[in-house]
C-alpha cells in the first residue's frame, strides 16, 4: 500500500504548503491510519516520499494500543486504497512514467554495460567537462527521468552529490540498490526541489516522451543554480522514425533547430548544441528502414565484443571534436544550456 516506505507512523511529516494543498483534500482518515493514508495518497499523486533520519526522544504522553489501534489500521486499509485510487484519477494527463514496466525490465539490466549507454555517458561527461565554469565546485547533479541510474553513475560526478529522480518505481529502486545513488520517485514536471538547488540538471532522452516538453524544461531550469547547466539529449531526425520509437513511447524526434526552439521557449540558451552518434546513422537507417522493415527494435540485442570495441573507438573520436565542431547529423542531439549565456555558446544553431 505504501511501497518503499518502512515507517509510515513517524510523527514528522514535512512538506511545502503547495504539496499539502494537493494532499489534504484526498485524506479522510483520523488517528494512526491518517499517516498511512497520507503516504499512499502522495505516492498515487506522483509526489516523492523520502524517509530522512532525525534525532528524537521518547514522549511518555504518546500512547499506542496495539490491539485496538492495530485492528483500526487493518479496517482502514480498504478505505485508504480507495483514497489512493481517487487521488490517482486526478493526476494531470501526461504526468505519467516515461517507461512502462516492460521497457523498464528490458533497459534496467543494460544501462551500465551496453555500449550505447556507455557511449552516451562518455559524450555527456565530455560535454560537461568542456563547459565547466572556471571554478567548478561540484554542487548537486540531478538526473531527471534517469531510469535505473546506470548512465548517471558513469558521469564521473561525486556519488554523494548525485540525485536520481525517476517516475518508474522499479527503476528508481534499482538506481538506489545497484548504483548507490540517492533516488526519488517523482514526475519530471513537478519537482520536489527548491529553486536554485542543482549545479547540473540532466534530461537525457526524456522530453521526447512528453506532451509538453517546454513545461519540463522550465521546471528543470527552475532548480538550476545561477550558473548551473542543463544537459539535454534527444533522438534525432524525424526521417529515422520507426516502430522502435513507438515501442519506446516517443512522441517526436528532434534536430538542432527544433530543440533550440523548445529551449528558447523555456528561456534557455545553449552553450553547446550538436548532433552525436553520427557514425550510427547508416546502420540505424538500414536496420529500421530496410532490413527490419520498420519493426520494433530497441537495439539492445546489437552487441558483441567487436561491436563494443568499434562503438567505443568511434565514440572516442567523436568526443575529440565535441564542443569544437557542430556535427550536422547523428542519431541524437546533445545540448548543454543555461538560463543565460555568459561568454556565448559553441556548436552552431
What are the tens digits of pLDDT across the range 204-227?
A: 999 999 989 999 999 999 999 988
pLDDT confidence of residue 348 = 41
Confidence band for 237, pLDDT divided at 50, 70 and 90: very high
Closest CA to 1 of 53, 36, 34: 36
Strand order in the sheet with 141-144: 182-185, 162-166, 141-144, 198-204, 224-235, 332-338, 269-276
Cβ 178 vs Cβ 208: under 8 Å: no
- With 0.85 as the threshold, say if the pTM is over it: no
Mean pLDDT, the chain, integer: 83
Q: Kindly state the percentage of the chain with pLDDT values over 70.
A: 79
Average pLDDT over residues 44-58: 71
Whole-number pLDDT of residue 301: 60
Burial of 331 (0-12, 13-18, 19+ CB in 10 A): buried
235 has pLDDT over 80 = yes
Q: Name the residue among 206, 190, 197 with its Cα closest to residue 228.
A: 197
Predicted confidence (pLDDT) at residue 124 exceeds the cutoff of 90: yes
- Of 106 and 267, the structure prediction assigns the larger pLDDT to 267
Mean pLDDT of 58-76: 71
Q: CA–CA distance from 212 to each of 147, 215, 222, 247, 262 (Å)?
A: 20, 6, 16, 19, 10
pLDDT digits over 246-304, tens only?
778 888 999 999 999 999 999 999 999 999 999 999 998 888 777 654 444 445 566 78
Closest CA to 307 of 342, 291, 283: 283
Hey, what's the cell of 202?
540532466
CB within 8 Å of 52: residues ≥ 6 apart: none
Q: Bigger pLDDT: 54 or 184?
A: 184
- Confidence class of residue 95 from pLDDT cuts 50, 70 and 90? very low
Sorted by where each starts, the structural domains of the chain and their CATH numbers stand as 17-89 (no CATH), 101-338 (3.40.50.150)
Above 50 in pLDDT, residue 228?
Answer: yes
pLDDT for the residue 343: 43
Quickly state the pLDDT bin for 349 (edges 50, 70, 90).
Answer: very low
C-alpha 201: how far from chain center = 10
Contacts 24+ apart (CB under 8 A), 73-76: 73/32, 73/33, 73/36, 76/29, 76/33, 76/36, 76/37
- Residue 192 corresponds to which cell in the numbers above? 520536489
C-alpha cell, 259: 530543440
Q: How far apart are CA 121 and CA 127, in angstroms?
A: 10
Distance of alpha carbon 37 from alpha carbon 75, whole angstroms: 12
Amino acid at each position: 500500500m505504501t511501497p518503499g516506505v518502512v515507517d509510515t507512523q513517524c510523527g514528522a511529516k514535512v512538506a511545502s504548503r503547495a504539496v499539502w494543498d494537493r494532499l489534504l483534500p484526498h485524506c479522510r482518515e483520523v488517528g494512526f491510519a491518517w499517516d498511512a493514508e497520507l503516504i499512499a495518497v502522495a505516492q498515487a499523486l506522483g509526489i516523492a516520499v523520502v524517509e530522512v533520519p532525525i534525532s528524537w526522544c521518547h514522549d511518555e504522553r504518546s500512547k499506542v494500543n496495539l490491539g485496538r489501534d492495530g485492528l483500526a489500521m487493518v479496517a482502514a486499509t480498504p478505505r485508504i486504497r480507495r483514497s489512493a485510487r481517487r487521488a490517482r484519477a486526478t493526476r494531470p494527463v501526461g504526468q505519467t512514467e516515461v517507461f512502462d514496466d516492460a521497457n523498464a525490465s528490458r533497459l534496467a539490466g543494460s544501462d551500465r554495460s551496453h555500449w550505447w549507454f556507455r557511449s552516451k555517458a562518455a559524450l555527456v561527461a565530455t560535454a560537461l567537462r568542456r563547459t565547466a565554469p572556471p571554478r567548478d565546485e561540484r554542487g548537486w547533479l540531478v538526473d531527471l527521468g534517469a531510469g535505473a541510474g546506470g548512465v548517471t553513475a558513469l558521469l564521473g560526478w561525486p556519488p554523494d552529490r548525485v540525485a536520481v529522480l525517476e517516475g518508474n518505481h522499479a527503476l528508481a529502486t534499482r538506481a538506489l540498490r545497484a548504483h548507490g545513488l540517492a533516488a526519488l520517485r517523482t514526475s519530471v514536471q513537478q519537482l520536489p526541489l527548491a529553486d536554485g538547488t542543482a549545479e547540473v540538471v540532466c534530461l537525457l532522452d526524456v522530453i521526447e516522451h512528453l506532451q509538453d516538453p517546454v513545461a519540463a524544461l522550465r521546471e528543470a531550469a527552475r532548480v538550476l543554480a545561477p550558473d548551473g547547466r542543463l544537459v539535454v539529449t534527444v533522438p534525432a531526425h524525424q526521417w529515422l522514425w520507426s516502430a522502435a520509437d513507438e515501442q519506446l513511447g516517443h512522441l517526436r524526434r528532434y534536430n538542432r533547430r527544433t530543440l533550440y526552439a523548445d529551449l528558447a521557449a523555456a528561456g534557455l540558451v545553449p552553450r553547446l548544441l550538436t548532433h552525436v552518434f553520427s557514425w550510427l546513422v547508416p546502420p540505424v537507417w538500414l536496420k529500421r528502414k530496410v532490413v527490419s522493415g520498420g519493426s520494433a527494435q530497441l537495439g539492445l540485442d546489437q552487441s558483441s565484443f567487436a561491436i563494443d570495441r568499434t562503438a567505443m573507438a568511434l565514440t572516442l573520436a567523436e568526443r575529440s571534436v565535441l564542443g569544437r565542431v557542430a556535427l550536422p547529423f547523428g542519431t541524437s542531439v546533445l545540448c548543454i544550456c543555461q538560463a543565460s549565456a555568459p561568454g556565448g555558446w559553441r556548436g552552431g544553431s
